[in-house]
Structure 1
Amino acid sequence: MDFQTAVRTCFQKYATIAGRARRSEYWWFVLFIFAGNVVLGLVDQIVFGSAQVLSGIFGLATLVPSVCVAGRRLHDTGRSAWWLLLIVIPLIGFLVLLWWFVQKGTDGSNEFGPDPLAGEPAPVPR
C-alpha cells in the first residue's frame, strides 16, 4: 500500500475500528500526521506566533482516524483495540504498543476479519 492509498483509506474509514489494517497503512498514516504537524506547526509559527491554531485543528481532525487505524492495526495482530488504553501507562504503555504495531499481522483470517495481505473477501455483515 502506498502513501496516498493509506491516507485515503484511513479517512474513508474515519470512525471504523472494525477490520484489520496492514503495517503499511498504519505507518504511512503516522508519517502523514507527523509531516502535517511539522508543516502546520511551521505555518502557525510564521502566521500566528506561539498560537497553534492550524496544527490544533489538524490534530482534532485526525484524532478519530488515528485511534481507529491503531485499533485496526492491533486487530491485525490478533489483539483487541481495547489494548490502546495501555497508552495511559507512561513510557511502558507506549513501548508495548509500539512493539505490537511493528509486528507482522496474523496470517490468514482471525476473529477481526480476513487477512488484508491475502486479499481474502470481507465477510458479509449480519
Structure 2
Amino acid sequence: MILFRPLIRYADFKGRASRSEYWLFAVLQGFWYALLIGLATMAMGQDAHPAEVSKSVVVVFGLMVLSMVALIVPNYAVLVRRLHDSGKGAIWLGLMVPSILSAVMAVGTIATAIGSVGLGASREAFLGTVMAGLGAAGLLGVLGYVGQLILFVLTLLPGTKGENAFGPDPRDPGQRYGDFGGGSALDEDRLDALFAEAKRANGMSDEPYKPIFDFGPGPSQPAPVQRASTWPEAEWNRPAAANGLTPAPVFGKRRS
C-alpha cells in the first residue's frame, strides 16, 4: 500500500518516490500526531487524580517522542527519493543545514547564559550573551526557512518522465520496485523465491496433486483406443485344448 511504502522501504535511499508516496506519508504522520495531541488534551481535561492525569500525559508524549525518533530515517529516505524523482541528488538536503545550526546555537546560547548566571555574571553580561547568540541563531533560522521553502517547492514538482539516473519511473505500472543499487525492496520474484524456499523447508514438492484412488482417465487423458482384432469370430468361440485332450462339445449343440 502506498501509504506505508516509506515504512517498508525504511532506510532505502536509492531509487525514486512519486509525489503521492511522499505526501500521503506526510498526511499519515499528521493524523497520527493529531491523534496523540487529542489524547493528551483529553487526559488533561479529565476529572481524575492529578497523578493519574500526569501519568497519562507522560505516556502520550512519550509515544510522540518515540514516533518522531523512529520516523527520522524513513522521512529523510523518502525525501531523498522524492528529489531523485526529479533528477536531483541528496546534496540538496544541505538546504536544511542552517535550520539545524540555528536550533543548536539557540540551545547552546541559553545553556551558556544560564551557566554564566550560576557563575555570578552580571545582568548586562547575561543579556549581551543572550542577545548575541539568539541574534546569530535568528539569522541562520531565516536562511534555514528559505532553504526549507525551496525543498518544499521541489517536493511539489513533477518527476522525470521515464527512467532517469536514479532508477525507473515510479508512476509506470510496468515497473517494479526492485533493488536499485542495493535498496531493501520486495518484488514479485523475491516473494516467489521465498514461497519456494518455504515449500522446500516443509518438505512440500511442486509436483501436481495425484489422487490416491484412480477412477479412470481424467479429462486431460485420452481414453484407451480399442483395436480391432484380426482373428475370426469363430476362433474366439472355440474352446482351447489343454494337454492334448479333445475338448468337450459345446452344451446345447448336437454333434454332426
Decide whether the 8 Å contact of 1:20 with 1:116 is kept in 2. Answer: yes
1:17 and 1:112 map into 2 onto residues whose CA distance is 10
Structure 2 match to 1:116: 170
2:74 and 2:38 map into 1 onto residues whose CA distance is 23
Question: Match for 1:73 among 72, 76, 82?
Answer: 82
Superposed, 1:18-33 pairs within 5 Å as 18-33=14-29
Structure 1 match to 2:141: none
1:63-93 Cα deviation digits (max 9, x unpaired): 1111100000000010012212212232111
1:33-79 Cα deviation digits (max 9, x unpaired): 11111111232442216x72111111111111111000000000100
Question: Match for 1:95 among 146, 149, 155?
Answer: 149
Residue 63, structure 1, aligned to residue 72, structure 2: yes
Check 1:125–1:94 CA distance in 2 against 1; reply closer, same or farther (3 A cut): closer
Check 1:125–1:28 CA distance in 2 against 1; reply closer, same or farther (3 A cut): closer
CA positional deviation for 1:120: 4.7
Decide whether the 8 Å contact of 2:4 with 2:25 is kept in 1. Answer: no
1:5-58 Cα deviation digits (max 9, x unpaired): 223211110000100000000000000111111111232442216x72111111
Q: CA RMSD in A?
A: 2.2
Tell me which protein shows more helix as a share of its residues: 1
1:88 and 1:66 map into 2 onto residues whose CA distance is 16
1:43 and 1:54 map into 2 onto residues whose CA distance is 11
1:38 and 1:19 map into 2 onto residues whose CA distance is 31
Q: Structure 2: 5+ residue runs without aligned partners?
A: 44-55, 99-143, 182-256
85-94 or 74-83, which moves further after superposition? 85-94
Decide whether the 8 Å contact of 1:10 with 1:69 is kept in 2. Answer: yes
Query: Which residue identity is paired with 2:153?
Result: W
Decide whether the 8 Å contact of 2:167 with 2:180 is kept in 1. Answer: no
2:7 and 2:72 map into 1 onto residues whose CA distance is 11
Query: Which residue identity is paired with 2:155?
Result: F
Question: Match for 2:10 among 14, 36, 44?
Answer: 14
